[in-house]
Amino acid sequence: MHEMSPLINPGDAVLDLGCAPGSWCQVAEELVGPKGIVVGVDRVYVPPLTLTRFIVGDATLPSIQKSIREQLIEKEYFDVVLSDMCPNLIGIKSADHQASLNIVNEALKIAHGMLKENGTLLVKIVKPPASKKESAEIYIRAEKFHPLNRKYPLSLI
């Protein structure tokens, strides 16, 4: 995906939501280089990397979002928001589908408040087990982000 059109560039500020086990953060570190910043957030502990700043907690909580913002020292917003968040699937197709949409909606709300204008959002959608034919995951890349008005909440659902 990155080879077709670069997602992350040198010097970028990257936020990785649902970052465990840290693979995307590791790749992001290499791409942003020493002048960039990578912030990873997950509910579980992730072993440290060289440049990534990890936050353990639920990214949807205001206190964790405040901690995320505090990591931005030289920039006001992130250039890229990656969401690899995944709901706990229970095997009921309709409930799992709704849980997946809810996670995407949360990622969109976080990006709305933290992604710079013309930034990029990459979000994972998990297919419920009953609908799997190939991959269980679909990634949607949204480019040229434009905040309509950051004062008002945003929702897909």
Cα 69 from Cα 67, distance rounded (Å): 5
Would you please indicate which residues are annotated as catalytic (active-site) residues?
124
Cα 15 from Cα 68, distance rounded (Å): 8
Cα 105 from Cα 87, distance rounded (Å): 12
Structural tokens at position 152: 């008002």
